[in-house]
Amino acid sequence: MGSNIPTSTLRSTDRTIPLLGYGTAEYPFGASIETMKESILHAIELGYRHFDSASLYQSEVPLGEAISDALRLGLIKSRDELFITSKLWCSDGHKDLVLPALQKTLENLQLEYLDLYLIHWPVSSKPGEYVLPVKEKDLLPMDFRWVHEQGVSVLVKSFNKERIKQNLDIFDWKLSQEDLKRISQIPQQRAYVAAEFVSEKGPYKSVVEFWDGEI
């Protein structure tokens, strides 16, 4: 695997996941598809092997094209060197739409399989629209058996070539015990509280309820 990025073994399989990945979200979604493809290809060249995408981001097609180019250019020998994640959007969060959504994602990525497929947000919406925020009248409860896992894989995102490199150079140093202690005392909060998914008429009535009180 490229660079010196550490990995962790997923509990449910013997597959390993790089603990630093490359995020592909930008807003407005799909605003700079060509720049995104070029940046992803540059990230592969630097040594990134874990890539996070989503149907909402409109990043699956440029990621798939970058992977195809990386194979053609010899930057990677096979798709198996990569760990590819994508996500199910709320409007596809219905039992009869999950499989078609996954198949569309694979088609966009030009891949035969994903390494990880996530539920983007734990709520459904009326089928048809890939938008954020979701319209309040379209929010629906999702039918889903939660499994809480331990362990963290960090996703970083930048289309600036220097920042892409800087985000990769984090494995040759460690925080001191004193630093760790001080960091642990910093009050934690969500950078994005997902207020758009909260409604008196929806499945979640408050932000606290949405996050199971962990906010």
Clarify whether residues 169 and 179 are in a common domain.
no
Q: Would 29 be classed as within a structural domain?
A: yes
Torsion angles phi and psi, residue 195, rounded to 5: -60, -25
The SS3 of residue 96 is coil
Q: Would 88 be classed as within a structural domain?
A: yes
User: Per residue of the chain (215 residues), what is the pLDDT tens digit?
Assistant: 456 888 888 876 778 899 899 999 888 887 777 789 999 999 999 999 999 999 999 999 999 999 999 999 999 999 999 999 999 999 998 888 989 999 999 999 999 999 999 989 878 899 988 888 888 889 887 654 732 223 456 667 788 888 888 888 777 777 788 887 887 887 776 677 888 888 888 888 888 888 776 66
Q: How far apart are CA 50 and CA 68, in angstroms?
A: 15
Supply the CATH number for residue 133's domain: 3.20.20.100
End-to-end Cα separation, the chain, in angstroms = 36
Q: Would 127 be classed as within a structural domain?
A: yes
Helix ranges restricted to H, the chain: 33-46, 60-73, 98-109, 161-168, 177-184, 207-210
Clarify whether residues 120 and 211 are in a common domain.
no
Clarify whether residues 112 and 167 are in a common domain.
yes
The total of structural domains in the chain comes to 2
Nearest Cα to Cα of residue 53 among 187, 157, 141: 157
Q: Would 2 be classed as within a structural domain?
A: no
CB 8 within 8 A of CB 16: yes
Both tokens assigned to 59: 């990043």
Clarify whether residues 85 and 160 are in a common domain.
yes
Q: How far apart are CA 12 and CA 135, in angstroms?
A: 36
Clarify whether residues 70 and 119 are in a common domain.
yes
Clarify whether residues 21 and 101 are in a common domain.
yes
Q: Would 136 be classed as within a structural domain?
A: yes
Q: Would 195 be classed as within a structural domain?
A: yes
Clarify whether residues 200 and 128 are in a common domain.
no
From 57, 113, 192, 204, active-site residue: 57
Q: How far is CA 175 from the centre of its chain?
A: 26
Clarify whether residues 45 and 125 are in a common domain.
yes
Clarify whether residues 137 and 182 are in a common domain.
no
Query: Domain containing 141: what range?
Result: 7-173
pLDDT at 34: 76
Q: Would 1 be classed as within a structural domain?
A: no
Clarify whether residues 191 and 107 are in a common domain.
no
The single residue listed with the structure tokens 């195809």 is: 68
Q: Is 48 a catalytic residue?
A: no
